[in-house]
Amino acid sequence: MVAHRKDPRRAATGCDSHHIRARHGGLSRSGCHTPEAGDRRRRAAGAARDGSPLDPGVKSVPPTVVIADDDPDILSLVAIAVRKADLELVARHENGASAWESIRELSPTLVVLDVTMPGLTGLEITRNIRADVSLSGTRIVLLSAGVDAAASGEALSAGADVYLTKPFSPSGLAARLVEIVR
């Protein structure tokens, strides 16, 4: 027997949509379960309204991340933060030019960039991302040692979602990354 999680949205009515689907091979005609069109598409794809899988056997795909920093130690700390946040690191680069190539090719959910890198700077990559319609959903975190308001303002006006200063803790960065991709 396959165990299914009860749908908390249906608990008040006593309807368990997972149980109905298992018994009837589809939606109930009894009127007990009448999902909106968006819910139908998510259910067809195997996901609940909150994005979690309906079937415990279905794995959800974590958001993808590209990171770039010319300092290998900082790059390693950012990679640790990405793993702690349960995100999928798809590329890491030590210069802006190769990071930009990966971003265009992979269309990641999130990029974490150093402001000053050889090749292209994080600010230039941010402007490129914001100018590319196919990357409009990409979230951008810029990291810098610059702590003044002007540096932060320049990063945000370039299109960054978040500007963080170095040094940072991997745990603190991981928490911010989780907030950003929600």
pLDDT in tens, 126-150: 999 999 999 999 999 999 988 788 8
pTM of the model: 0.68
Question: Which residues 6+ apart lie within 8 Å of 52 measured at CB?
Answer: 60
Identify the pLDDT of residue 149: 84
Last residue in a domain, options 29, 55, 81: 55
Q: Do 16 and 84 reside in the same domain of the chain? A: no
Cα dist from 159 to 2, 78, 112, 154, whole Å: 48, 20, 13, 9
Cα dist from 79 to 130, 131, 171, 174, whole Å: 24, 26, 11, 10
Identify the pLDDT of residue 52: 52
Q: Do 108 and 148 reside in the same domain of the chain? A: yes
Weakly modelled stretches of the chain, pLDDT under 70: 1-59
Going by their DSSP bridges, the two strands 139-144 and 162-165 should be labelled as parallel
Distance between CA 78 and CA 112 in Å, rounded? 8
Q: Do 7 and 88 reside in the same domain of the chain? A: no
Distance between CA 83 and CA 112 in Å, rounded? 13
Identify the pLDDT of residue 56: 57
Q: What is the dihedral of CA 138, 81, 87, 146, to 10 degrees?
A: 0
Domain that holds residue 7: 1-55
Q: Do 94 and 41 reside in the same domain of the chain? A: no
Q: Do 89 and 148 reside in the same domain of the chain? A: yes
Q: Do 36 and 85 reside in the same domain of the chain? A: no
CATH value at residue 78 = 3.40.50.2300
